[in-house]
């Protein structure tokens, strides 16, 4: 995205750049030199069905933006061999033939792509095999759709991706089927608005780092949201209810201040940042906010341990993946 910073021809200043735009360019160059998160290897998981392949534009767009190598991976799950070919049960040579057929289909899928890429055909339980190859290959990001119910073997059922949330120790970008509007195989994906679930834990701090890096690359608008579940005490007697409402208001004021402090002045120099505070179940509020504000990507921490009630932990992220219509990027805080 270019800034409209050139003066009109014929003006006394000619075609020079205005000072604010010069400063913004300098800030962006400084941030480029010290980018927080870099994707060098991206692992895209596909069962080669049409629904699963809809995730390809997301993986390709990210690989192109970050100059990353894309690894296109398919898992052969021979525990369900009959889904591929009944002869697999009696002819071991069919394994090699099937692997070669998968590689051919991946080449057809990637036909015309200009980014560096390679095909990976692996065997085993899908969730465990994907987690293992992600570690082995040093993947900086794994991209997967939550359902792939047709085509070759039905490898990526929703339950597999949900298992990945608990077994994978790499950032996971999940894409729910049906595909989000505006993306399809062969098109580019640009997240114009990115939402971060913030609970002030190490997990959400890491999510913010990823979101800032993505916003920098795509020149995105950044939204920071915190949600707390409503207290039951405000529905008791009038006195207790009044005290509960005062407490909620005090918490809201504190949280809003902390949300504003999450982004530095340097961040705000190149990115529009908005903050929001809501009351309700975190996964429902994130999904609702994302839909209402046309969010293109939600970034959350898989583990969050906060003094304000563990906003985004385990099952909350699982429920968000199932409920939200837009892509979800889940990042895990490294174990110490």
Decide which of 180 and 129 is more confident.
129
DSSP assignment string, 67-126: TPEEEEEEEE-GGGGGGT-GGGGT-THHHHHHHHHHHHHHHHHTTT--S-EEEEEEES-H
Report, as an integer, the average pLDDT of 280-300. Answer: 94
Scanning the structure block, which residue is given the tokens 């293109």? 296
Residues 243 and 282 in one domain: yes
Residues 120 and 217 in one domain: no
**Last-in-domain residue among 175, 201, 220:** 175
Residue 307 has pLDDT above 50, yes or no: no
CA-to-CA distance for 206 and 242, rounded, in angstroms? 36
Q: So what's the pLDDT on residue 154?
A: 40
Q: In CATH, what number is assigned to the domain containing residue 313?
A: 3.40.50.620
Residues 150 and 258 in one domain: no
135: confidence class by pLDDT, cuts 50, 70, 90: very high
Q: So what's the pLDDT on residue 164?
A: 87
CA-to-CA distance for 287 and 273, rounded, in angstroms? 19
In a domain, 139, yes or no: yes
91: confidence class by pLDDT, cuts 50, 70, 90: low
Residues 213 and 168 in one domain: no
Residues 200 and 164 in one domain: no
Total count of domains within the chain: 2
Residue 242 has pLDDT above 80, yes or no: no
How would you classify the pairing of strands 297-301 and 193-197?
parallel
Residues 135 and 262 in one domain: no
Range with lowest mean pLDDT among 159-163, 182-186, 317-321? 182-186
CA dist list (Å): 268 to 72, 180, 211, 264:
36, 28, 13, 6
Residue 102 has pLDDT above 90, yes or no: yes
Find, among 276, 293, 305, 308, the residue nearest to 197 by Cα: 276
Find, among 194, 190, 71, the residue nearest to 137 by Cα: 71
In a domain, 183, yes or no: no
Q: So what's the pLDDT on residue 291?
A: 95
Q: So what's the pLDDT on residue 306?
A: 43
CA-to-CA distance for 299 and 321, rounded, in angstroms? 11
Q: Token digits for 134?
A: 């992600």
Mean pLDDT (the chain) is 78
Residue 55 has pLDDT above 80, yes or no: yes
In a domain, 231, yes or no: yes
Residues 170 and 279 in one domain: no
Which range, 2-16, 190-204, 254-268, has the best average confidence (pLDDT)?
190-204
Q: So what's the pLDDT on residue 86?
A: 55
**pLDDT tens per residue, range 261-276:** 998 888 888 889 999 9
| 174 touches 161 (CB < 8 A) | yes
Q: So what's the pLDDT on residue 311?
A: 42
In a domain, 3, yes or no: no
Residues 278 and 306 in one domain: yes
| 295 touches 288 (CB < 8 A) | no
Residues 52 and 147 in one domain: yes
Maximum separation of any 2 CA atoms in the chain, in Å: 83
| 195 touches 289 (CB < 8 A) | yes
334: confidence class by pLDDT, cuts 50, 70, 90: low
Decide which of 294 and 1 is more confident.
294
In a domain, 211, yes or no: yes
Q: Which structural domain range is residue 290 located in?
A: 193-331
Residues 73 and 164 in one domain: yes
Decide which of 314 and 79 is more confident.
79
In DSSP terms, which residues pair with 42 in a beta bridge?
70, 141
Q: How many CA atoms lie within 13 A of 159 on its CB side?
A: 2
In a domain, 16, yes or no: no
pTM listed for this prediction: 0.78
Range with lowest mean pLDDT among 34-48, 214-228, 272-286, 306-320? 306-320
In a domain, 163, yes or no: yes
**Last-in-domain residue among 147, 175, 203:** 175
Three-state DSSP at 278 gives: strand
In a domain, 188, yes or no: no
């Amino acid at each position: 995205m270019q800034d409209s910073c050139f003066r009109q021809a014929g003006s006394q200043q000619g075609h020079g750049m205005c000072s604010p735009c010069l400063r913004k360019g300098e800030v962006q160059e400084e941030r480029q030199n010290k980018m927080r998160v870099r994707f060098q290897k991206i692992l895209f998981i596909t069962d080669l069905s049409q629904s699963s392949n809809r995730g390809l534009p997301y993986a390709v767009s990210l690989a192109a933006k970050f100059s990353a190598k894309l690894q296109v991976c398919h898992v052969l799950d021979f525990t369900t061999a009959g889904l591929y070919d009944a002869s697999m049960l009696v002819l071991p040579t069919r394994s090699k033939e099937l692997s070669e057929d998968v590689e051919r289909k991946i080449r057809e899928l990637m036909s015309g792509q200009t980014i560096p890429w390679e095909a990976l055909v692996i065997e085993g339980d899908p969730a465990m095999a994907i987690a293992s190859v992600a570690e082995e290959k040093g993947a900086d990001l794994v991209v997967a759709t939550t359902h792939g119910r047709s085509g070759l073997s039905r490898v990526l059922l929703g339950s597999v991706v949900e298992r990945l949330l608990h077994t994978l120790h790499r950032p996971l970008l999940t894409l729910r089927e049906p595909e989000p509007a505006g993306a399809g195989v062969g098109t580019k994906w640009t997240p114009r608005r990115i939402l971060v679930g913030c609970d002030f834990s190490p997990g959400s701090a890491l999510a913010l780092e990823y979101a800032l890096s993505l916003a920098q690359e795509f020149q995105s608008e950044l939204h920071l949201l915190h949600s707390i579940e409503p207290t039951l005490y405000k529905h008791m007697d009038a006195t207790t209810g009044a005290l509960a409402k005062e407490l909620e208001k005090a918490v809201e004021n504190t949280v809003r201040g902390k949300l504003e402090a999450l982004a530095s002045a340097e961040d705000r120099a190149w990115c529009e940042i908005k903050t929001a505070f809501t009351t309700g179940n975190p996964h429902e509020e994130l999904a609702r906010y994302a839909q209402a504000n046309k969010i293109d990507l939600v970034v959350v921490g898989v583990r969050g341990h906060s003094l304000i009630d563990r906003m985004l932990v385990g099952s909350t992220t699982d429920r968000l993946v199932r409920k939200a219509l837009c892509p979800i990027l889940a990042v895990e805080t490294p174990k110490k």
